[in-house]
Structure 1
Amino acid sequence: MPIPSSNPRHSLLALACAGLLLGGCSAVSEHQTPATHPPAGGDWQALASGTAAQDPPSDWWRLYQDPQLDQLVTLALRHNHDLQASLAHVDELLALLGQARAQRWPSTTASWQTFYGRTSDDQTEAKATGSRAGSQWNQVPGFALDYQLDLWGQVRQSIQAAQANAETAQAAHDQLQVNVAAGTARAYANACAYAARSAIQQHSVSTVERSLDLTVRQRRAGLVTDLEVDRVRSLLEETRALLPRLEAEHQAALEELGVLTGSEPGQLPAAVSGCQNVPRLSRALPVGDGWALLQRRPDIRAAERALAAAGHEVGMRQADFYPSVSFGASISSSAERLHDLGDHEAITYAIGPLISWSFPNLLVTRARLNGAQAHERQQLARFQQQALVALKEVRQSLARYGGEAGHRDALVGALDSSRNAYRLARVNYQAGALDFLDVLDSERAMVRLEADKAEADRQLVERQIELFHALGGGWQDSPASVPVRSILSATEPAR
């Protein structure tokens, strides 16, 4: 950086005036992370039975002890395209963090200019000697150094803001991993559940087909009328009508799995496509407490880091009220020939401080500070709202899980009773103690309850996955997160 020549006494006077003007100014404020207190009502056991106070593991899907589910989630976390794009965004912000950290060091510029023509020195010499200036090749090497003195913490604040932005992106990436893990588990559970429901529905169709065949034979023997035959045939078509929808939902779940794992549905393992066993937990569902939830959920961490970045932006805008002080040095050569570049007479240099200050018109600076402070208040409100939303989601998921578990238990008891009632109705009908309509009603009730119970199995595992999703696990041990955090936690030398 070229530095204009000046009188040292003038420089000292300028620095003294700046010190007097800044003596009454407050120091640049530092961002303070808002205090987060343990939420009230963190005892989740009151909302749902079958839960435990232990914190859920990061790889919560392994609680189902299903190797196919473990393989699918691992595949999704490695090859999901949304995760790859999110990680690239993190890398982009890490590069910006590297640029911000580079401001701690002096910036240097090396140059070499070669041109043919006349310089101002040639013209001055020609005018002094009364001769004509000639044209020639000129070589102008140069080197400049510029170092900003971070007296008011502006560089430090910009680094901390860039780091907070990178941590926000990392937290958003972690949240996406939670979404992908939960989405993969949900799609796999739906694929297994709809396949199981199709098998149960097919079994119900076979049961009604046998009843229809028996009724037709009884009609030929004159034991029943056409009305009974048409009623059984109607029940058969009603039971069979649900099969295409179940098969379509099963295929849709496989398509969802293909997208989440970054592969085609035809490339999924055969054990996944043919799964008919809905994943089940073999132990109480661990839910932890509200305090651990706030520390675990990536979306809350992202909101807090966005708030931190906004606070550091306020600090940067406050530093704009102070003079910017840089130290610069430059050296170059004015020699016309290569072998004269190092001559003492050809060397030119400059060294000294440079002070710039937007004063006394501070309207633009004040407007920028007001905007940054408003943005910080906005991020604070979002952070507080996100914490409330997280608690609400967990409590809602627990309530729905408890309700679904109770609903399924009731259906299991009702189905057992319905099967026994259908068996007794057939026995009594054959003995002549019941009308055929009673047998048909018992069969229709049993078929409906079998479908309802299969749907309850699917809904229960979906509520479990929804609860795990709300609890925020699935990112802590990700291979992609470890090197990123090591970069974010790297310390810089103090200035």
Structure 2
Amino acid sequence: MLDFRSYSREGGNPEQQSTTSETLGSRFRGSTGRGLLGSLSALALAACAAGPDYVAPIPPQTASGPFLSTDSPAISTAAVDPDWWRLYDDPVLNALVEDALAANTDIRVALANIAKARAGLRAARSDELPQTDIGASATYGRQSEGQRVPGADREDWTVDTGLDVAYEVDLFGRVSRNVEAARGDVGAAQADADAVRVAVVADTTRAYADAASAAERLAVARHIVELLDRSLTLTGRRHDAGLATGLDTARIAALRNQRAADVPAIAAERDAALFRLATLTGRAPADLPPIAAERKTTMTIDRPIPVGDGQALLARRPDVHAAERRLAAATARIGVATADLYPHISLGGSIGSTSTSFGDIFGAGPLRWLLGPLISWNFPNQSAARAKVAGARADTQAALARFDGTVLTALRETETALSAYAHDLDRRTALNAAYEEAERAVTITRAQQREGAVNSLDLLDAERTFADARADLAAIDARIADDQINLFEALGGGWGDAGAVSRAGAAQDDGADLAER
């Protein structure tokens, strides 16, 4: 460790003043001081910008083009609507999403993380300012005979006060790189909060959609049970008239009971969705407004869904932005570690007074002052510093790999959601055709049974087919609603206004910090 200070003037003791002045002043006049300062000047010119400058990574060219699964008429390449949940035209859903954005506990945690990151930025910026330290002490003690000044009491008070000021000259970029890294941390925290908002909006919409689709599926299940009750009654009458066997009645009753068993399971799914909805909006289950449970039909969108393209996706996805900001912070920390290979130079001074009474601490005699540079340098053994640089470079490589992985994940999730949505729409078309044919078949079979043209087994088969088709149609409608929500979540929409607010808060925080400076 190399450490030296400049000329010092001490008051009160002429011998101490002369000795200190000669000792410290000689370090500048000697050849060692001149050689060291010359070396430091050369190092300052050579290494004034420690570490690599950050350059944002460029995603693959193919990632910026149109998506692969956009040939469906239900998909549009128009720009994504940030408030995508409004495409469902449901005022209750709109209000619930607003409640979730305002009161969700995960969002509150994310906002606290932003505040923590901003505090870290302010702490990093504080190194750009002079550091001050004020101290004062008063002690009573006894000196040894050898330390006693002739004529002075061996037991007395010692009063000491002082003000120290130090300012680091950031020749090698340690402070500026540390501030740059802290800015990256703030940007990552803000992007993380935006990602939480995306997830909260999607989960809130999904919970509401699940409750609505469960209500529709519950109505379908109950209606199927009613139809089977009618068939069971009709078959029972035919059995009493000798036109049907007991086996026919038992088969209809078994099917009816199987479908009746679906009712409580679907009701439990609906309750669970409503409980999730309450939690997402920051409420206890008992506090969820009754209007949230009033919708009884599956949510649908009656227009093509806008999805944009890959370039807009990567610019919009908060997780991609968070990964890029973490890469920027990791790159800056290479500079912070590299700066430790060079001397730390500070300009400092102190003024103080040591006296045996409170009345003399501001007198000219006890006054002391010190002014000059402080240079510290771990040299020549720099193994630890170089190991930190190597570790920072490894962290940067990991951050780059995570960024690349996040980009690929964003593309995969979006393409998967688009494909699932398009194929489920095709599946619904087929299931709807099957439902219509099953409904026509059961109507004909019932009429034929009343006329005695078919037996109860034929009616049983028709009823079972119709029940399956109706349940499948309700299930695919619920799945399509879930596909839509998954697609919007993959597209990264639903945080625009709130994200702008968080970034505006960061700008205000930066301005306030500059004003303090």
Root-mean-square deviation over aligned CA pairs: 2.4
Letter in 1 for 2:303: R
C-alpha deviation, 1:429, in angstroms: 2.8
CA deviation after TM superposition for structure 1 residue 487, in Å? 4.6
Correspondence for 2:306: 286
Count of matched residue positions in the alignment of Structure 1 and Structure 2: 490
Over 3 Å counting, the alpha-carbon distance change for 1:170 and 1:488 in structure 2 is farther
1:16 to 38, 43, 54: 38
The TM-score with structure 2 as length reference comes to 0.89
Quote the Cα distance in structure 2 between the aligned partners of 1:492 and 1:15. 33
1:101 aligns with 2:125: yes
> Does residue 1:217 correspond to 2:237, yes or no?
yes
For residue 399 of structure 1, the aligned residue among 419, 436, 442 is: 419
Question: How far did 1:489 drift?
Answer: 5.8
The one-letter amino acid paired with 1:16 is G
The alpha carbon displacement at 1:186 in A equals 0.8
Q: Contact (CA 8 Å) 1:325, 1:353: kept in 2 or not?
A: yes
Q: How does 1:179-198 map to 2 (within 5 A)?
A: 179-198=199-218
With over 3 angstroms needed to count, the CA separation of the structure-2 counterparts of 1:18 and 1:201, relative to structure 1, is same
SS in structure 1 of the partner of residue 496 of structure 2: coil
Provide the rounded CA distance (Å) in 2 between the counterparts of 1:463 and 1:216. Answer: 44
Cα distance in 2, alignment partners of residues 289 and 174 from structure 1: 20
Q: Could you tell me which amino acid in structure 2 is paired with residue 294 of structure 1? A: L
TM-score (norm 1): 0.93
Give the Cα–Cα distance (whole angstroms) in 1 for the partners of residues 344 and 4 of structure 2. Answer: 17
2:133 paired with 1:112: no
The letter of the residue matching 1:30 is D
Structure 2 letter corresponding to 1:64: Y
Give the whole-Å Cα distance in 1 for the aligned partners of 2:453 and 2:358. Answer: 122
User: Distance between the aligned counterparts of 1:311 and 1:447, measured in 2?
Assistant: 61
Distance in 2 between residues matched to 1:21 and 1:72, nearest whole Å: 61
Alpha-carbon separation, structure 1, partners of 2:65 and 2:142:
83
**Could you say what secondary structure the match of 1:151 adopts?**
coil
Query: Percent identity, aligned pairs only?
Result: 36
Among 36, 43, 48, the alignment partner of 2:67 is 43
What is the rounded CA distance, in whole Å, between the counterparts of 2:221 and 2:506 in structure 1? 50
Q: Who is 1:228 aligned against?
A: 248
- Structure 2 match to 1:435: 455
1:481 and 2:481 are equivalent in the alignment: no
**For 2:462 and 2:488, how far apart are their aligned partners in 1?**
39
* Correspondence for 1:368 among 388, 413, 426: 388
Equivalent pair of 2:44/2:171 in contact (CA under 8 Å): no
- 2: distance between equivalents of 1:408 and 1:267? 36
- Return the alpha-carbon distance in structure 2 between the equivalents of residues 349 and 317 of structure 1: 34
SS of 2:162's equivalent in the other structure is strand
Per-residue CA distance 1:419-471 (angstroms, 9 max, x = gap): 11111222233334333322221121111111110101100000000000000
How far apart, in 2, do the equivalents of 1:109 and 1:254 lie?
58
Amino acid at match of 1:486: A
Contact kept, 8 Å, 1:90 with 1:170, in 2: the verdict is yes
1:33 aligned to 2:59?
A: no
Counterpart CA distance in 2 for 1:164 and 1:492 is 18
Does structure 2 retain, via aligned residues, the 8 Å contact 1:211–1:232? Answer: yes
Residue 92 of structure 1: aligned partner: 116
**C-alpha spacing 1:21/1:262, structure 2 compared with 1 (3 Å):** closer
Partner of 1:56: 80
Residue 434 of structure 2 is matched in structure 1 by 414
Distance in 2 of aligned mates of 1:57 and 1:279: 18
What are structure 2's unaligned runs of at least 5 residues? 8-23
Q: Which amino acid aligns with 1:68?
A: V
* Cα deviation code 1:52-77 (max 9, x no counterpart): 11222222111111112112221122
CA distance in structure 2 between the aligned counterparts of 1:75 and 1:481, rounded to whole angstroms? 17
**2:398 corresponding residue in structure 1:** 378
Letter in 1 for 2:206: R
Give the 3-state SS of the residue equivalent to 2:396 in structure 1. helix
Unaligned runs of 5+ in 1: none
